[in-house]
Amino acid sequence: MFKRILVGMVLTSLLLASCGPAQTTVPTSAPATSAPTEAAAATEAPAAVADKPFAGVTLNMLDSAEGQTDAMIALQNKCMEETGVTRNVEVVSPDDVDTKLQTALASKSSTYDIIGIDIIDLSKFDAAGWLEPLDSYIDDATRNDILPFALEGISYNGKILGLPWKAEYMVFVYNAKMLEDADIATPPTTWDELVADSIILKSKGIVKYPIVFTWGAGYEQITSDYTMITKSLGGELFDKDGNPVFNQGAGVQALQLMNDMINKDEIVDPVALTIKGGGTRRDIMMSGDAAFGFLWGNPLVTMNDPANTELAGQFALALAPNKISLAGPMGMSISAFSKNKDAAWAYLKCIAGPEGEKALFLADGSPFGYTSVLNDPEVQAKLAEFGGDIAAQQAEYLAVRPSLPYYADFSSSLQDTVQKVLTGQDEVQSALDKLAETVKALQAEYTQ
């Protein structure tokens, strides 16, 4: 139980990263455009000093403006000061990060030294030889300090491929005042109750579309939500032998539920099919246009802050319907093609080690992955303010997306399948049967 509580609390901390506006005073100048730019505050490194271990070394990273928060930029500057490196951050549109990164890695380019890695990409990146194993760098104390869930997000085939970075999960948020106004005594505990409560809220005119989702075309959140719903209904996407089984049982029920919520019960706004972003879901709830939402991190940090919304104080956490939510552990890694791996490791330890992760958590609630950070009194005090108990319980009931060498193709096909069903272009069973055939073809291709 203690181990599970640790995992829960770690993830609780992780929660906060994706939800709150940065609270440091260091200005960020990284524009949210698709054209590559540099995050000025992150690249204006202090002049190299002779006693700095890696003075004169330049490290490069690719990021989106969303990742370049004030808190992150301040930490980057601190780590440049400590190590002597100059850190260049190329900022591009969120939709372009993955494509540009993988294009560079596929060509064995040394363009980027430090890269972010999602658990869903570990098998692909490892098989391609794109990541530098860190087993020879990391000491036993640091390895043993990493929380189990976070360690899962950076390990593959017996190798440690990064340090913990935003190993977060989704929490179920509800507007307590809306439920009170509708005479709903407690938050829903099952999907049937969630639908029923949403219909009540809609019928009483409290909110037109009670549940918020973001299922824009080509958006990974579609795969995340479909996986979560399927597993919460007792199903799996693949059996123990790797065969697709999402086109039967719970997998069919999950897609039917998604379809019904939009097209039958009309409790999810059809605009969900055109929008993206966890921040978007949060903002819709903060504006009073939804009562329920699945949000990454610990969104209550932002949502219950009076500086951010007139509805502050109305939001609370509950366990997800049928208890199951979804985890998304991530890591920060060193490119196998970096020409400055020792410098990259020194910088990585500063950014993604315990000290750096504690600093980010205290500044803007960013996720952390270390027991020592979890046990820190300052961290414990902050966790207690924002639904830490419920979030810790939720961490005991987490699903993960499948780790597949062909994951990108699978996820893209699944997203397209869901979109076609929700927009009336195909039927649930037919669409999932076609997806199963697509997956079998991918499996045959990747085993050749």
Condensed to tens digits (0 to 9), the pLDDT of residues 414-443 reads 999 999 999 999 999 999 999 999 999 999
Largest CA distance in the chain: 70
Instruction: Report the percentage of the chain scoring pLDDT > 70.
Output: 88
The domain 21-167+329-364 is classified under which CATH number: 3.40.250.10, 3.40.190.10, 1.10.357.10, 3.40.50.1820?
Answer: 3.40.190.10
Residue holding tokens 């190798």? 159
**pLDDT band per the 50, 70, 90 thresholds, residue 14:** very low
What span, in angstroms and rounded, lies between the C-alpha atoms of 411 and 185? Answer: 38
Q: Which of 26-35, 59-68, 123-132, 360-369 has the weakest average pLDDT?
A: 26-35
pLDDT, average across residues 298-315: 90
- pLDDT confidence of residue 50: 52
Q: Comparing 21-167+329-364 with 169-326+400-446, is the CATH topology the same?
A: yes
Select the more confidently predicted residue: 324 or 119: 324
Q: Which of 111-125, 182-196, 347-361, 363-377 has the weakest average pLDDT?
A: 363-377
- Asked if pLDDT for residue 307 goes beyond 80, the answer is yes
All structural domains of the chain with their residue ranges: 21-167+329-364, 169-326+400-446
pLDDT, average across residues 361-366: 80
Select the more confidently predicted residue: 286 or 28: 286
Fold classified for 169-326+400-446: D-Maltodextrin-Binding Protein; domain 2 (3.40.190)
- pLDDT confidence of residue 36: 38
Instruction: Report the percentage of the chain scoring pLDDT > 90.
Output: 66
Tokens of 3: 């181990």
**pLDDT band per the 50, 70, 90 thresholds, residue 89:** very high
As a dihedral over the C-alpha atoms of residue 161, residue 164, residue 166, residue 170, rounded to 10 degrees, the angle is: 90
- Asked if pLDDT for residue 281 goes beyond 80, the answer is yes
Q: Return the ∠ at Cα 417 (arms to 282 and 256), rounded to 5°.
A: 70
As a dihedral over the C-alpha atoms of residue 207, residue 209, residue 212, residue 218, rounded to 10 degrees, the angle is: -160
**pLDDT band per the 50, 70, 90 thresholds, residue 195:** very high
- pLDDT confidence of residue 51: 67
Asked whether the whole model's pTM tops 0.85, one would answer no
Select the more confidently predicted residue: 363 or 349: 349
CA distances from 75 to 124, 171, 405, 416 (A): 30, 27, 34, 39
Q: Please state, rounded to an integer, the average pLDDT across all residues of the chain.
A: 87
Phi, psi of 3, deg, nearest 5: -65, -40
What span, in angstroms and rounded, lies between the C-alpha atoms of 258 and 248? Answer: 15
pLDDT, average across residues 278-293: 95
Residue holding tokens 């409560």? 197
Q: Is 193 exposed, middle or buried (0-12, 13-18, 19+ CB in 10 A)?
A: middle
